Chain A
Amino acid sequence: MIGATIKKDVWLLLRDRGRLASLFVLPVVFIVVFGSMFKFGPDRGTPRPIAIWHAPGDARGEAIAHALAETPGFAARPLASPDDVRRAVAADDVGAGLIVGDGPVELVIDLAAPVQVRGPLQGALTGVVMRALAPIKLPPLVEAKSPPGLAKPLDNITGFQVTVPGNAVLFGFFIALTLAMSFASERHTGTWRRLLAAPVPRWKLLFGKLVPYFLIGLFQLAVLFGLGVAVFGMQIAGSVVALIVLTIALVACSMSFGLLVASFGGTEKQIGSIVPIVLLVMGLLGGCMFPRLIMPPVMQKIGLVVPHSWALDGYYTVLVRSGTTVADIAAPVVALCAFAAGFALLGLLRFRFER
Chain B
Amino acid sequence: MSRAPSERTLRGRVAVVGIGETEYYRHGASPDPEFKLALKAILAASNDAGIDPREIDGFSSYSDDRSEASRLAAALGTHRMRTATMQWGGGGGGCCAAVANAAASIVAGLADCVVVFRSLAQGQYGRFGQTDGITTISGERAYLMPYGVLAPPQRFAMRMQRYMHEHGVKQEAMRAIALASYHHAQSNPRAVMFGKPLDAAKYDASRWITEPFHLYDCCMENDGAAALILVPAERAGDFRNKPAYILGAAVGAGYRSGAIPHNSPRYASASFDTLAPDLYGMAKVGPSDVGVVQSYENFTGGVAMSLAEHGFFKPEEANDFLTLNNLIAPAGRLPLNTSGGNLAECYMHGFELVIEAVRQIRGQSVNQAKRSDVALVIGGPMVTPASNLLLGSGATL
> Do A and B interact?
no
Task: Give B residues with C-beta under 8 Å from A.
Answer: none
